[in-house]
Amino acid sequence: DGGITQSPKYLFRKEGQNVTLSCEQNLNHDAMYWYRQDPGQGLRLIYYSQIVNDFQKGDIAEGYSVSREKKESFPLTVTSAQKNPTAFYLCASKKTGGVHGYTFGSGTRLTVV
Amino acid sequence: ILNVEQSPQSLHVQEGDSTNFTCSFPSSNFYALHWYRWETAKSPEALFVMTLNGDEKKKGRISATLNTKEGYSYLYIKGSQPEDSATYLCAFAMNRDDKIIFGKGTRLHILP
């Protein structure tokens, strides 16, 4: 069955270390997204990509970086410049060309100690 | 700053009762309105994507309406069941921009 896989489910890192969160989809979707969720807040967009080798900053891109070398993969790196990295991170994908719902992964909970 | 408001924030409903909640969004530059259901420990699941003023969509016991002129959408659940317990998210898409803005969600608890 097609879907989105995020790994790992839980991730612990020391402060000052970069960490990369994986997101892979086999839905043949062109567009992919990274969201962050904090307690009491809605999902906030970090980065998105509508096509391979191209991506745009979302509303809270500072301290994060992404790459889109393959259609199936959209990894997110949380750098040491991100002031409050502890959060729940969700990846999503969507068909382009028309109005479509998003398909979400199951998320990665990152804790920085 | 574009804002999507959902109310109430949390709701407790007796099993078998019907319920509804609201999503408010900017009425200008409307493109689409999304509803998602997010059960604990699972991924958010798309329920509806609505584009036309006056649109009504239905999926089993769940339905949604859309008023783009006044900027609101209602989600209705008829005869609530325990499996309806979840957070319901709405999200607004402006113009043909590919980004959507999420509300904070309505957390629904079904009481046995």
- Summarised one tens digit per residue, pLDDT across range B82-91 is 999 999 999 9
Peptide bond into B8 cis (omega under 30): yes
Tell me what the mean pLDDT of segment B18-41 comes to.
Answer: 94
**Sheet containing strand A4-7, strands side by side:** A4-7, A19-25, A76-78, A64-66
B36 part of contact set with chain A, CB < 8 Å: yes
Q: So what's the pLDDT on residue B2?
A: 75
Chain B residues near residue A45 by CB distance under 8 angstroms: 99
Q: So what's the pLDDT on residue A65?
A: 97
- Using the Cα atoms of residue A68, residue A71, residue A73 and residue A76 in order, give the sign of their dihedral: positive
pLDDT above 70 for B65: yes
- Smallest Cα distance from B79 to chain A, Å: 26
Chain B residues near residue A101 by CB distance under 8 angstroms: 34, 36, 46, 48-49
A94, β-bridge pairs: A31
pLDDT above 90 for B96: no
| Length of chain A (residues) | 113
Q: So what's the pLDDT on residue B110?
A: 97
Is A50 within 8 Å of B34 when comparing Cβ atoms? no
Q: A66 with A76: CB under 8 angstroms?
A: yes
Q: Which positions of chain A have pLDDT values less than 70?
A: 1
DSSP state, A83?
S
Tell me what the mean pLDDT of segment B61-67 comes to.
Answer: 98
- A 51-70: CB under 8 A from B: 58
- B 79-108: CB under 8 A from A: 89, 91, 93, 98-105
A40 part of contact set with chain B, CB < 8 Å: yes
More confident call, B77 vs B96? B77
- Using the Cα atoms of residue A99, residue B89, residue A49 and residue A24 in order, give the sign of their dihedral: negative
Alpha carbon B24 to its chain centroid, in Å, reads 10
Which of A31, A42, A104 lies nearest to residue B105, judging by beta carbons?
A42
Chain B residues near residue A103 by CB distance under 8 angstroms: 43, 46
Residue among B27, B4, B1, B21 nearest B92 (CA): B4
Q: A112 with A86: CB under 8 angstroms?
A: yes
Residue among A93, A41, A112 nearest B105 (CA): A41
Residue among B97, B101, B82, B86 nearest B23 (CA): B101
HSE-up of residue B36 (Cα within 13 Å, Cβ side) = 26
Burial bucket for residue B28 (CB in 10 Å: 0-12, 13-18, 19+): exposed
B34, β-bridge pairs: B49, B91
Phi/psi for B80 (5° steps) reads -55, 140
